[in-house]
Amino acid sequence: MTSAENTKTAAILVIGDEILSGRTKDKNIGWIAEQLNQMGIDLCEARVIADDKDTIIRHVKTLSDTYDYLFTSGGIGPTHDDITTQSIAEAFNKSVIRHPEAVRRLLKHYEGTDIPFNEARQKMADIPEDADLIDNPVSAAPGFILHNVYVMAGVPSIMQSMFEGLKDQLEGGQKKCRLTVQCAIGEGTIATIMASVSDAFDGLSVGSYPWFKPGQFGTAVVVSSKNRDDVFQAAEMVAKLVREDGYDATILDEGQD
Amino acid sequence: MTSAENTKTAAILVIGDEILSGRTKDKNIGWIAEQLNQMGIDLCEARVIADDKDTIIRHVKTLSDTYDYLFTSGGIGPTHDDITTQSIAEAFNKSVIRHPEAVRRLLKHYEGTDIPFNEARQKMADIPEDADLIDNPVSAAPGFILHNVYVMAGVPSIMQSMFEGLKDQLEGGQKKCRLTVQCAIGEGTIATIMASVSDAFDGLSVGSYPWFKPGQFGTAVVVSSKNRDDVFQAAEMVAKLVREDGYDATILDEGQD
């Protein structure tokens, strides 16, 4: 069992002009966030930045220095605007080499197709020296790990397949237990109850998320903690106090939000 | 017409534990990004951070110092975990006051309902001194503007209604023109074409976004620039070169991605 003190911390860096222009909606932050949460790794921060070398270097250095793990997505494709690999190499004063194993994987992937392994596709085998490869079961072109930075593709399906393959290497911690209490009550009415529940348990988080539908409203109260017993007791306490005020409250099953 | 030199810059700060835990998927970055893009404001960066006072203060100071506009979402509700207002006030050495106009709006909103204007709901009228209110047409509780920081709700519908009301106050610039060329060709095959198109025009961005469907794949090439003529010429050039290589290419209508 891992104590809160040695829980690993993480950040996500999404690299891509297309996210900042609004053309593409990011799906990677939410997906990685869920994965890390399930593994008991504490996601502290996520950033979206432009495809600009100095910008990438600056953020990679900051986040790599601050957290145990940094996960990046985007900018490792074959085209001229894919500059993540070169930038991350420079952030750690490394050269980029044409990686023989990456070349082998790409050659095998294109074998028997009419897709030429041209200069642009060969670029996807360029990896910073001393980096380890991240498998890409979808389209072969690997990601890489350099120090504590996990460099993955931006396309969600490819990024997900990369993360699935590397996650066993990450040091997880004790997962937070989380329960949701659905309350047929406005957020402003439940505030006092939430504060008193929060005060009653050490290390318990109590969050409230109001929702609105035509003619209906309510608040999802989410209690979470590494102490599973506390979470169940706190959820009962929320439901009891809400019901005492004359409103409906339902504790959802674990994992049901 | 605004030149690139005085284009306003912006950042987004999403404040909320529920995004970092993966429980809630952020929709605000993508929505605000689209709005700013349409207004010709350059979104340079977006961050997602936890509901923690020191963290909020640190990021607000950095982003407010670096960019012309900072838009925040989340943490201005009535409950104990809503600490954005207090934190942003502290970032600028301001006190929080119970704002008379905010109180008036909330009282009016709850008038004739059985919802009590209790202490928790009164908290939503707490605003940093010297801040201007941001209208909330959905649920009355206002956001606020302090220096160059625009503080909005986290619930997307409320945030959007706030932004719609304030955007006329923002200094927009010359909008980038953007065209998409759909190419029935792999990203690795089109890379050389993209690089040559990119080189042919000053200040032109050329991005490529590969897509995959069962049995099909292709690349959306997106050309964008403040120079509208360049964009149309560049799109024609992409399509021509792709077709010369023997693949289909279609220039989509403006605004169609």
| Judgement on whether residues A202 and A106 belong to the same structural domain of the protein | no
Q: What is the pLDDT of residues A23-54, one digit of tens each?
A: 999 999 999 999 999 999 999 999 999 999 99
Chain B: give the shortest CA distance to residue A132, in Å: 23
B205–A81: do the CB atoms touch at under 8 Å?
A: yes
Q: What is the pLDDT of residue B6?
A: 81
Query: Which chain A residue has its CA at the smallest distance from B208's CA?
Result: A79
Interatomic CA distance for residues B161 and A203, integer angstroms: 35
Residue A257 lies in a domain: no
Q: What is the pLDDT of residue B257?
A: 64
B18–A207: do the CB atoms touch at under 8 Å?
A: yes
Q: What is the pLDDT of residue B1?
A: 35
A224–B21: do the CB atoms touch at under 8 Å?
A: yes
Residue B257 lies in a domain: no
| Judgement on whether residues B154 and B99 belong to the same structural domain of the protein | yes
Helix (H, G, I), strand (E, B) or coil at B127: strand
Compute the average pLDDT of residues B11-26.
Answer: 96
Which of A78, A189, A206 lies nearest to residue B188, judging by beta carbons? A78
Compute the average pLDDT of residues B213-242.
Answer: 92
Final residue belonging to a domain, choices B143, B169, B195: B169
Buried b (16+ CB within 10 A) or exposed e, A116-125: ebeebbbbbb
Task: Look up the CATH number of the domain holding residue B197.
Answer: 3.30.70.600
Which of A36, A50, A257 lies nearest to residue B44, judging by beta carbons? A50
| Judgement on whether residues B9 and B123 belong to the same structural domain of the protein | yes
- pLDDT 10s digit of each residue in chain A, 257 long? 334 568 999 999 999 999 999 999 999 999 999 999 999 999 999 999 999 999 999 999 999 999 999 999 999 999 888 999 999 999 999 999 999 999 999 999 999 888 889 999 999 999 999 999 999 999 899 999 999 999 999 999 999 999 999 999 999 988 889 999 999 998 888 999 999 999 999 999 999 888 877 778 899 999 999 899 999 999 999 999 999 999 999 999 887 66
Query: Which chain B residue has its CA at the smallest distance from A48's CA?
Result: B46
Task: Look up the CATH number of the domain holding residue B116.
Answer: 3.40.980.10
Q: What is the pLDDT of residue A19?
A: 97
- A63–chain B Cβ distance below 8 A for any pair: no
Q: What percent of chain B has pLDDT over 70?
A: 97
- A26–chain B Cβ distance below 8 A for any pair: yes
| Judgement on whether residues B20 and B144 belong to the same structural domain of the protein | yes
pLDDT tier at B131, thresholds 50, 70, 90: very high
Q: What percent of chain B has pLDDT over 90?
A: 81
Q: What is the pLDDT of residue A1?
A: 35
Whether the CB-CB separation of B43 and B33 falls below 8 Å is answered with: yes
Which of A18, A32, A47 lies nearest to residue B47, judging by beta carbons? A47
| Judgement on whether residues B47 and B96 belong to the same structural domain of the protein | yes
- B210–chain A Cβ distance below 8 A for any pair: yes
Q: What is the pLDDT of residue A4?
A: 52
Kindly state the tokens that stand for B233. 């010429």
Q: Is the dihedral of CA A111, A116, A121, A126 positive or negative?
A: positive
| Judgement on whether residues B101 and B188 belong to the same structural domain of the protein | no
Domain span at residue A210 reads 177-251
What Rg value do the Cα atoms of chain B yield, rounded?
Answer: 22
- A190–chain B Cβ distance below 8 A for any pair: yes
Q: What is the pLDDT of residues B162-197, one digit of tens each?
A: 999 999 999 998 888 999 999 999 888 898 999 999
B29–A44: do the CB atoms touch at under 8 Å?
A: no
Q: What is the pLDDT of residue A3?
A: 41
Higher pLDDT, B239 or A5: B239
Residue A256 lies in a domain: no
B22–A35: do the CB atoms touch at under 8 Å?
A: yes
Interatomic CA distance for residues A164 and A31, integer angstroms: 11
A81–B206: do the CB atoms touch at under 8 Å?
A: yes
User: Which of B20, B24, B71, B217 to mutate against chain A (most A CBs within 10 Å)?
Assistant: B20
Whether the CB-CB separation of B77 and A187 falls below 8 Å is answered with: yes
| Judgement on whether residues A110 and A203 belong to the same structural domain of the protein | no
Q: What is the pLDDT of residue A175?
A: 84
Final residue belonging to a domain, choices A129, A145, A169: A169
| Judgement on whether residues B239 and B199 belong to the same structural domain of the protein | yes
Q: How many domains does chain A have?
A: 2
Interatomic CA distance for residues A6 and A45, integer angstroms: 18
| Judgement on whether residues B73 and B194 belong to the same structural domain of the protein | no
Q: Provide the phi-psi class of B188: left if phi over 0, else alpha when psi is between -120 and 50, else beta.
A: alpha
How many beta-carbon pairs below 8 A join chains A and B? 190
Query: Which chain A residue has its CA at the smallest distance from B213's CA?
Result: A157
Task: Look up the CATH number of the domain holding residue A245.
Answer: 3.30.70.260
Whether the CB-CB separation of A157 and A20 falls below 8 Å is answered with: no
| Judgement on whether residues A60 and A163 belong to the same structural domain of the protein | yes
User: Which of B36, B79, B123 to mutate against chain A (most A CBs within 10 Å)?
Assistant: B79
Residue B132 lies in a domain: yes
- B54–chain A Cβ distance below 8 A for any pair: no
A78–B205: do the CB atoms touch at under 8 Å?
A: no
Final residue belonging to a domain, choices B112, B143, B169: B169
| Judgement on whether residues B42 and B157 belong to the same structural domain of the protein | yes
* Mean confidence (pLDDT) of chain B: 93
ipTM score here? Answer: 0.90
The DSSP letter of residue B187 is H
| Judgement on whether residues A227 and A100 belong to the same structural domain of the protein | no
